[in-house]
Amino acid sequence: MTLSQVIAGLTRNPFARSKDSSAWMPVQPRSDLAIRAFDPALLWLTVALLAWGLVMVYSATIAMPDNPRFARYAHTYFLGRHALFLLLSFVAGLLAFQVKLETWERVAPWLFVASLLLLVIVLIPHVGKGVNGARRWLGFGSISFQPSELVKFSVLLYAANYMVRKMEVKERFFRAVLPMAAAVAVVGMLLLAEPDMGAFMVIAVIAMGILFLGGVNARMFFLIAAVMIVAFVLMIAMSEWRRERIFAYIDPWSDHNALGKGYQLSHSLIAIGRGEIFGVGLGGSVEKLHWLPEAHTDFLLAVIGEEFGLVGVLTLIVMFLWMARRMMHIGRQAIALDRVFAGLVAQGVGIWMGFQAFINMGVNLGALPTKGLTLPLMSYGGSAVLMNVVTVAVVLRIDYENRILMRGGRA
């Protein structure tokens, strides 16, 4: 081969028409550097949210030992525990990344059954751990696990697996949709017995989103959506304390609500109002000083709004929007590569993260009634952070396998 032929080969159009064929023949990249191993934007977004969450958990809890209820804790108690949660989550994420998507697809029904059993175990007296009237945790020494977080992941995998198996009958309501609806209803009854309506809402939205993305008939989808809306309205109407939350949301400043069901919301709004445009500075929040309950879990955004202002809140919104967009893109890419299960899982995780962040932010900003949902990847809580990191790792694995296939290898 002459030097001119070598130069011509290196500089030719990678999608040039072959002389021996009328087809377009893409040339494989010369090295793995041509395509990254996985999506760096999604990875660094996750790291940034975890790191920011660690800082804000410390900021929100540094003064808690001044409260007699937490007098026996050090000022770094919650920081140390959250750092431990992040370490365990990192290890779990690394292990989850090693699991092939075909393995998740195979074990999806069994994982769903196992998570249902855990929801049943939580309700057993003296086994499940109760806090503030809710029985949602299983205790393992000083560490607790919340099965509803695992259920979100197992329902996601099960719904994606179900749609792949029922692809041929997705136009028939009773054969395609009704069995999945029954499974979600069973999950809902167990979660409402805890009670944990917030987790049930997230799970219902995940399942409906996957049904829609999986190609269920639009009329069926809107019928299911209407039934779900009516069901949630009836749940609220039949529960006195849920009705009180709605009334407190409508008027949190009344004398009755400001010291009752609207207490958290009113102080969250005060915190965000104090932040104005640029915030009062990191560590400068006043509302976290025993005024705003659960400032390190459900109302972490209020502390962010007070300390970083409108700029901080908008930055956080953009980060979650970008994360959801990257996950949806990875899912579409997987489906284009004929990996329907992987694609539905990635898009389902995007729906999960986006919807839960939307609900949490809406509650903190007074746009939605108070609901006990944490801010994904940021709020204090071992079970939630663990499962959030595992699901992001699964999406990164999907992207990794996509890129292997695009290089001409086998996932």
pLDDT score at 409: 66
The CB density around residue 94, as the number of other CB atoms within 10 Å, is 12
pLDDT score at 7: 38
β-sheet with 128-131: strand ranges across: 128-131, 134-140, 143-145
| Radius of gyration (C-alpha) of the chain in whole angstroms | 24
How far is residue 117's CA from residue 101's CA, in Å, rounded to a whole number? Answer: 24
Quick check: 224 and 230 in contact, CB under 8 A? no
Tell me the three state secondary structure of residue 24.
strand
How far is residue 220's CA from residue 266's CA, in Å, rounded to a whole number? Answer: 40
Per-residue tens of pLDDT for the chain, all 411 residues = 443 443 344 344 433 333 343 333 343 443 443 456 778 999 999 999 999 999 999 999 998 888 777 778 888 999 999 999 999 999 999 999 999 999 999 999 999 999 999 999 998 888 878 776 678 888 777 778 899 999 999 999 999 999 888 766 555 666 667 788 888 889 989 998 888 888 999 999 999 899 888 877 777 778 778 888 888 888 888 878 788 888 888 888 887 787 788 888 999 999 999 999 999 999 999 999 888 988 999 999 999 999 999 999 999 999 999 999 999 999 999 999 999 999 999 999 999 999 999 999 999 998 888 887 899 999 998 899 999 999 999 999 999 999 999 887 665
Buried b / exposed e over 99-108, threshold 16 CB at 10 Å, is: eebeebbeeb
How far is residue 100's CA from residue 104's CA, in Å, rounded to a whole number? Answer: 7
How far is residue 222's CA from residue 20's CA, in Å, rounded to a whole number? Answer: 52
Size of the chain in residues: 411
Q: Indicate the helix (H) or strand (E) that contains 344.
A: helix 340-364
Farthest-apart Cα atoms in the chain, separation:
90
Please, what sign has the CA dihedral across residues 351, 352, 353, 354? Answer: positive
Place of tokens 């020494």: 141
Please list the helix, strand and coil fractions of the chain in percent, rounded to the nearest 5, in that order: 65, 5, 30
Quick check: 197 and 191 in contact, CB under 8 A? yes
The residues that bridge with 134 in the sheet, in sequence order, are 131
Chain center to CA of 391: 8
